Amino acid sequence: MRNLWVVLFTAILFCGGFTSPFVDYRGEKSIIERIEIDFYALFDFGESEKCYVVVREDGTYVSNSGVIIDSDIIENLQESFTDFYHADEVEPGMMTFGYWPEFIITLTHTNGTVRLRSSSAERCFIPWNIEYDGKKFVQFNGKIPTALFPLLVSLDPDYWSHRAPDLQSGCRVNPIPYEYKEQGVSPYFPVTPDSLSKLKKKGISRLKWKYILPDDGNHLPLLTNENIYVTTDHEAFCFEIDSGKLVWKIYSEDKMKHSYEQSESYNAYMNGNVYFTLTEGLMCVEGDSGKILWQILYEDVSGPPIFTEDKIYVRMELLKPYLHPWHTLILCVDAHTGVILWEYEVQEMWADGGHTVILHDDFIYFKSAEPSITCLDSNSGDIVWKIAEDLGFIDIVLIDSNFLIYTKSGYKVRCLEKRTGRCLWEAFTYDNPVFEDILMGNRILLHTDPDDTQISETLVDIATGDVIWEGHMGAMRTSDPFVDDLHYFLDSTGKTLTALNVETGSELWTAEFDSHGDEIHVFEEGILILLLDPERPYPFDTSYSGLIFLNRDGCIAWEYRFDTAARGKIHTPLPGALFFFEKDGGITEAFNTETGEILWKVNLEGWGINDILFYENKFYVSSDNGYIYCISMNDGKISWILESDSEVFYCWRLPPFLSVIEDGLLLAYTEDGHMFVISLDCIIC
């Protein structure tokens, strides 16, 4: 540490005229004599104001309320003044609705006064502005709030112990805006050495190629065996996967629509051609050359098209001022020629807001205002059947080759015969079911009356509508996977787990435990339950206190309690052997499924994990600081790190997304158009 002060002293002499408050000209540290902390926060439901003063008396730090402060806490606060960038006042990058905090902290040293200020609602109130001797700086690395939190807890434990959970776990390095990276840190203050430099060099050795698009491009790329196709708002690009060579690019006057999830694809590759969805139409491009084969501009596209080998089905909104209400248009386009084969127009009620179009066998199903559900012949566009009554808000889902289920806002569920539209049965529900969560093979779970303590859910046979089981599942905390036709749910207290056979409707067993369970994860080996923290400050806070694992017969196999309450989620990449608990703050722990033993723990920089991909015996993590990590599943060791070079990831910026494109290659792409292809085999080690 002494050498560091000597280096700083030398820098001050050469820079001239500016002295750091942390070093005087004899190379000795300046001492903090007084600290004034003013905190104010405005909430939607009120406000909070705190003022603290700490003074140094005879070598001891004492607060205005008589609390003696450990001198190490003050020392750590002083040593947190590192990695400052010259800057005028830096405003927070993210505004959080309903919460407006502000810190003003004045530190009086033996040779100067430093003022700290933050009005950021981001984690750890980053960034922090610093003013000294008329000069202004900014810190992004989170060291000031990390050192400040123990002081706040010492001064006012009742107020701060359960607040700012990000501070409790230690603040991470915030992404540094590009302009400050280019400028570099101020030479007047200590600089934290990069402990990850060796791992970053290894990451660079894995990079096959990268490309920066001229416009934001967080849109899901389209991948083939040889090429990557990616779009921005008005351009489409084709790259060779292996070399990164730009094969072609095209420009579109009409804005291109983009996919953000695999289940929502606006673009497709078929028959050697690439199909792009435009704001008002479709475009077909030859995949190898980029030659535009055909293009149609019609009306506003509503929702992702359905692509088949020979036909494309697209839903459009006729947003014409003379049409009240607006109309919906279903269009069938020849995929080879772009010729419109047929179109079907139906009245739209824009409050409906749904864009569901389902293709199954030779039928098209969609919803609208009136008629509410229509079935068309997918080849001719002719009406097969329709339901003409006004159903208001509805949702439809295709169960299998025989049945169609829909629900409406009148608390009613109907099951229809798919080919005729004939109603097989109907039932009343408390609200509209979420079908993805409650379909169990040929059974459907209906949420009937949550206020009824005896019967709030009903399990129904889809084919007949017969009730198989009815009972009470409390707050509907249920298992997502169904193993061996079993369904698991917690009661309203969260302390009783029930195993239900969905075929017979019989309850096999119940298990009770002391803590409040929340999430349920089912393995072949047993059932894992996340336990809510009983001291969480808010009823809807999902802070977890630990884990309970039960055997498939309901007996508790093991329990594990976290040292401090943690938010997070479970990952199960390998059946049976282990599972991962990903905590906020970039911490991942690997557990042995059978014993509950922690096999390893890895702590990543950044606030948390944005994307995680498991591949062979490694997993790849995108952290919100813009880093991409390669981590061994066997021991949790970081193999390499790659910086994405992306800009600030505030609420409108996202870290890299990950996708394996073929054996041995990983694709990463960011919202601001940075695209990387990474070799999972070392190129230059």
Q: Domain with 515 in it: what CATH number? A: 2.40.128.630
- 544 closest CA partner among 512, 515, 586, 573: 515
Whether 238 contacts 224, CB under 8 Å: no
Please tell me which residue, 624 or 313, carries the higher pLDDT value. 313
Q: Which residue among 559, 578, 603 closes a domain?
A: 603
556: in domain:
yes
| Tens-place pLDDT, residues 99-126 | 788 999 999 988 889 999 998 877 788 8
197: CB partners within 8 A, 6+ apart = none
Helices (H) and strands (E) in the chain, counts: 8, 53
| Per-residue pLDDT, 445 | 78
For the residues of 317-349, what is the DSSP string, one character each?
A: EE--TT-SS-EEEEEEEETTT--EEEEEEEE--
Give the burial class of 304: count Cβ atoms within 10 A of its Cβ; 0-12 exposed, 13-18 middle, 19 or more buried: buried
347: in domain:
no
**Cα radius of gyration rounded to whole Å, the chain:** 30
- 433 closest CA partner among 466, 403, 468, 460: 460
**Three-state SS letters, 282-294:** EEEEECCCCCEEE
DSSP-based helix, strand, coil % in the chain, nearest 5: 10, 45, 45
User: What share of the chain has pLDDT > 90, as a percent?
Assistant: 29
Please tell me which residue, 634 or 218, carries the higher pLDDT value. 634
Please tell me which residue, 653 or 478, carries the higher pLDDT value. 478
| Per-residue pLDDT, 167 | 60
| Tens-place pLDDT, residues 321-362 | 555 556 778 899 999 999 999 999 876 544 344 556 888 888
- Tell me the C-alpha distance between 665 and 607, whole Å: 27
Both tokens of residue 444? 């459907």
| Per-residue pLDDT, 409 | 58
Could you tell me the strand order of the sheet in which 222-223 lies? 222-223, 227-231, 235-240, 246-251
Whether 203 contacts 643, CB under 8 Å: yes
| Per-residue pLDDT, 18 | 42
| Tens-place pLDDT, residues 367-404 | 776 657 889 999 999 999 988 765 555 667 666 667 77
| Per-residue pLDDT, 308 | 93
79: in domain:
yes
482: CB partners within 8 A, 6+ apart = 440, 441, 502, 522
Please tell me which residue, 485 or 4, carries the higher pLDDT value. 485
302: in domain:
no
Give the burial class of 324: count Cβ atoms within 10 A of its Cβ; 0-12 exposed, 13-18 middle, 19 or more buried: exposed
Q: How confident is the model at residue 88 (pLDDT cuts 50, 70, 90)?
A: confident
Q: How confident is the model at residue 685 (pLDDT cuts 50, 70, 90)?
A: very low
Is 591 strand, coil or helix? Answer: strand
Q: Which residue among 193, 220, 251 closes a domain?
A: 193
**Domain range enclosing 511:** 473-603
- Tell me the C-alpha distance between 639 and 320, whole Å: 57
Whether 106 contacts 36, CB under 8 Å: yes
679: in domain:
no
Mean pLDDT value of segment 608-627: 82
Q: Which residue among 603, 626, 660 closes a domain?
A: 603
| Tens-place pLDDT, residues 202-241 | 999 899 999 988 876 557 788 888 899 999 889 999 999 9
- Tell me the C-alpha distance between 636 and 618, whole Å: 9
Q: Is the predicted pLDDT of residue 441 greater than 80, yes or no?
A: no
DSSP code at position 15: H
Q: Is the predicted pLDDT of residue 582 greater than 90, yes or no?
A: no
628: in domain:
no
| Per-residue pLDDT, 138 | 92
Phi, psi for residue 674 in degrees, rounded to 5:
-90, 125
290: in domain:
no
Q: How many domains does the chain have?
A: 2
- The chain-wide mean pLDDT, for the chain, equals 80
Rounded to 10°, the helix 143-155/71-79 angle is: 160
Tokens 């790329």 correspond to what residue? 221
Nearest 5°: the CA angle 23, 29, 31 is: 115
Whether 580 contacts 588, CB under 8 Å: yes
pTM of the model: 0.74
485: in domain:
yes
Q: How confident is the model at residue 540 (pLDDT cuts 50, 70, 90)?
A: low
Is 307 strand, coil or helix? Answer: strand
State the DSSP H helix or E strand holding residue 573, giving kind and residue range, or none if neither: strand 568-574
For the residues of 233-263, what is the DSSP string, one character each?
A: SSEEEEEETTT--EEEEEE-SSPBP---BTT
Whether 633 contacts 621, CB under 8 Å: no
Query: Residue 16, Cβ neighbours under 10 Å: how many?
Result: 6
- Tell me the C-alpha distance between 499 and 487, whole Å: 6
- Tell me the C-alpha distance between 565 and 543, whole Å: 6
Query: Residue 5, Cβ neighbours under 10 Å: how many?
Result: 18
Whether 8 contacts 21, CB under 8 Å: no
Which own/partner pairs from 508-514 qualify as long-range (CB within 8 Å, at least 24 positions apart)? 508/554, 509/553, 509/554, 510/554, 511/550, 511/554, 511/555, 511/556, 513/548, 513/556
- Tell me the C-alpha distance between 291 and 272, whole Å: 12
Mean pLDDT value of segment 568-575: 76
Burial string for 520-537 (b: 16+ CB within 10 Å, else e) reads bbbbeebbbbbbbbeebe
- 113 closest CA partner among 132, 85, 92, 87: 132
- 312 closest CA partner among 357, 356, 345, 353: 357
